[in-house]
């Protein structure tokens, strides 16, 4: 009789081992190696031959489907691709189920949509649907966790399938409990095969671990076509949908939503939103002209510098990189002779945004300098530029787009890298201030220690 094979796999990096280990030899993580049951061995003999086609035969056959929820379609790269599998991760309660139910309800006007929940009862989902005013949409619902039963019950003419969540599913070909690495992989594999053979678009909800990564092996992210993260502060109504992998569109694209009483609403002009609550000219705030994904986005960097009562002063950031803050503080100390060694420093990107661009350096540095000196920087000025270790302001990509957005929103001046070599004639309503170093920027703004 054929025997089921056993092996062990690291949940972080996917490395395989014949026996259990406390520490993965590949990635060095502890307690990540777990047993994986492989199922029955297969006879590899195969007499079929592949048929090869010219590349031109396959081109331009993608027919994207739009949900008309603008921000969602944008993050997918202009609509959902038939036969693709999309994984959505995010903290509990952030709104994954809400978003997908809303998207399905919108799509169900034209397409065949099924929502499978392994977490909530039909009553709970119904309650949510009524709140979203989607109670009478054509979405078909079932609460089930057996993946084979789900797939066997689906017709081939399904256009969209939501699985909420992949960690609750169970495949009978594997002996372990739901949520384990082998179960998640096996269930995802079956659903991916279903998507590829029927042309249905499958959305998988994935839980995230306390470190913020999607639970289950990293290989789950490798298996699917698109990985989206739904982020935001729970205390704040704004939610950001971010594509971190997309085989059918750009990654790092952002969609911004506001959670309201009746569900998520697309935010059409995010720059306006992130700047609405700005105070009048006060020290410690500078607007950053950034680019997120395909579009420009203006956000506010706020800094607070206060006397420290600790032996090692505090450095705290929200929405930015702590290591970047250390670097900028070191550059300001050594190149501008402005000392922060006896000060606590707090830096915050307002509105729950997480900025990863180095182009935010200049705005962050200016907000810190403004906070330290007590001198306000004009509300009508914004800044962008990367700061090098010698204090130089380095050029950044898509300079004109950033300035155009600032001009559109009524900013009167912008500080940007001299090396960006901009054609000044293109901008008539905004003063362009090109700077070579951080010291130059301080001189222009007349910031003194």
Q: Are 331 and 300 in contact (CB under 8 A)?
A: no
State the burial class of residue 22 (Cβ atoms within 10 Å of its Cβ: 0-12, 13-18, 19+): exposed
Does 117 engage in binding with Mg ion (CB under 5 A)? no
Q: Residue 54 or 261: which CB sits closer to ligand TYD?
A: 261
Give which of Mg ion, ligand TYD, none residue 319 binds (C-beta under 5 to 8 Å, depending on kind). none
Q: Residue 164 or 405: which CB sits closer to Mg ion?
A: 164
Q: Residue 97 or 246: which CB sits closer to ligand TYD?
A: 97
**221 SS3 class:** helix
Shortest reach from residue 348's CB to ligand TYD, in Å: 24
Give which of Mg ion, ligand TYD, none residue 259 binds (C-beta under 5 to 8 Å, depending on kind). ligand TYD
CB burial string 365-384: b at 16+ within 10 A, e below: bbbbbbbbbeebbebbbbbb
Does 265 engage in binding with ligand TYD (CB under 6 A)? no
Number of residue whose CB is nearest Mg ion? 97
Does 90 engage in binding with ligand TYD (CB under 6 A)? yes
CA angle 315, 320, 324 (to 5 degrees): 65
Q: Are 258 and 276 in contact (CB under 8 A)?
A: no
Q: Residue 36 or 164: which CB sits closer to ligand TYD?
A: 164
Q: Are strands 254-260 and 238-246 parallel, antiparallel or unpaired?
A: antiparallel
- Non-local CB neighbours of 109 within 8 Å, separated by 6+ positions: 137, 138
Give which of ligand TYD, Mg ion, none residue 90 binds (C-beta under 5 to 8 Å, depending on kind). ligand TYD
State both tokens at 334.
Answer: 């050594």
Shortest reach from residue 97's CB to Mg ion, in Å: 3
Of all helices (H) and strands (E), which one includes residue 323?
A: helix 322-335
Of the candidate spans 87-95, 238-246, 282-290, 337-345, the one that interacts with ligand TYD by CB under 6 A turns out to be 87-95
The residue within the footprint of ligand TYD, chosen from 32, 84, 98, 370 (CB under 6 A), is 98
Q: Are 232 and 240 in contact (CB under 8 A)?
A: yes
State both tokens at 216.
Answer: 């289950």
Q: Residue 165 or 182: which CB sits closer to ligand TYD?
A: 165
Does 235 engage in binding with ligand TYD (CB under 6 A)? no
Does 128 engage in binding with ligand TYD (CB under 6 A)? yes
Give which of Mg ion, ligand TYD, none residue 152 binds (C-beta under 5 to 8 Å, depending on kind). none
Does 162 engage in binding with ligand TYD (CB under 6 A)? no
Does 92 engage in binding with ligand TYD (CB under 6 A)? yes
Shortest reach from residue 164's CB to Mg ion, in Å: 6
Q: Residue 128 or 408: which CB sits closer to Mg ion?
A: 128
Binding residues among 342-381 for ligand TYD as defined by CB under 6 A: none
CA angle 408, 350, 249 (to 5 degrees): 65
Does 117 engage in binding with ligand TYD (CB under 6 A)? no
* DSSP secondary structure of 69-109: -HHHHHHTTSSBPTT-EEEEEE-TTSSHHHHHHHHHHHHTT
The residue within the footprint of ligand TYD, chosen from 74, 96, 185, 324 (CB under 6 A), is 96
Cα separation, 300 vs 288, whole angstroms: 6
Binding residues among 85-104 for Mg ion as defined by CB under 5 A: 97
Alpha carbon 376 to its chain's center: 33
Give which of Mg ion, ligand TYD, none residue 167 binds (C-beta under 5 to 8 Å, depending on kind). none
- Non-local CB neighbours of 276 within 8 Å, separated by 6+ positions: none
Does 97 engage in binding with ligand TYD (CB under 6 A)? yes
Does 258 engage in binding with ligand TYD (CB under 6 A)? no
Secondary structure letter of residue 66 according to DSSP: -
- Angle between helix 361-373 and 438-445 (nearest 10): 50
The residues binding Mg ion (CB under 5 A) are: 97
Instruction: Note the residues at the interface with ligand TYD (CB under 6 A).
Output: 90, 92-98, 128, 131-132, 259, 261-263
């Amino acid at each position: 009789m054929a025997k089921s094979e056993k092996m062990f796999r690291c949940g972080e990096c996917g490395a395989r081992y014949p026996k259990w280990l406390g520490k993965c030899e590949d990635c060095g993580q502890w307690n990540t190696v777990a047993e994986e049951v492989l199922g029955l061995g297969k006879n590899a003999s195969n007499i079929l031959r592949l048929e090869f086609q010219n590349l031109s035969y396959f081109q331009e056959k993608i027919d994207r489907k739009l949900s008309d929820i603008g921000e969602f379609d944008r993050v997918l790269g202009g609509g959902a691709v038939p036969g693709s599998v999309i994984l959505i991760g995010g903290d509990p309660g952030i709104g994954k189920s809400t978003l997908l139910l809303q998207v399905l309800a919108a799509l169900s006007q034209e397409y065949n949509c099924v929502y499978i929940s392994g977490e909530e009862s039909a009553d709970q989902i119904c309650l949510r649907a009524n709140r979203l005013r989607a109670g009478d949409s054509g979405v078909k619902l079932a609460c089930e966790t057996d993946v084979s039963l789900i797939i066997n019950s689906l017709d081939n003419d399904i256009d969209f399938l939501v699985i909420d969540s992949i960690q609750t599913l169970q495949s009978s070909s594997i002996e372990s409990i739901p949520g384990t690495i082998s179960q998640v992989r096996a269930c995802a594999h079956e659903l991916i095969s279903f998507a590829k053979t029927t042309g249905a678009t499958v959305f998988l909800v994935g839980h995230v671990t306390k470190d913020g990564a999607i639970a289950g092996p990293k290989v789950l992210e490798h298996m699917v076509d698109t990985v989206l993260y739904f982020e935001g502060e729970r205390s704040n109504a704004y939610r950001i949908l971010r594509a971190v992998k997309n085989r059918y569109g750009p990654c790092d694209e952002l969609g911004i939503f506001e959670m309201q009483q009746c569900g998520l609403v697309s935010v059409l002009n995010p720059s306006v939103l992130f700047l609405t609550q700005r105070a009048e000219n006060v020290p410690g705030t500078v607007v950053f002209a950034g680019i997120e994904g395909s579009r420009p986005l203006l956000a506010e960097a706020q800094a607070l510098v206060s006397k420290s009562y600790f032996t090692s002063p505090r450095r705290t950031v929200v929405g930015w990189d702590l290591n970047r803050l250390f670097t900028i503080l070191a550059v300001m100390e050594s190149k501008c002779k402005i000392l922060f060694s006896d000060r606590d420093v707090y830096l915050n990107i307002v509105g729950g945004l997480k900025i990863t661009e180095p182009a935010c350096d200049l705005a962050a540095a200016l907000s810190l300098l403004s906070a330290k000196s007590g001198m306000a920087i004009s509300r009508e000025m914004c800044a962008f530029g990367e700061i090098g270790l010698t204090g130089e302001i380095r050029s950044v990509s898509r300079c004109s787009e950033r300035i155009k957005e600032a001009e559109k929103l009524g900013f009167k001046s912008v500080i940007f890298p001299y090396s960006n070599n901009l054609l000044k004639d293109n901008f008539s309503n905004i003063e362009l201030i090109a700077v070579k170093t951080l010291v130059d920027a301080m001189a222009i703004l007349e910031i003194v220690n």
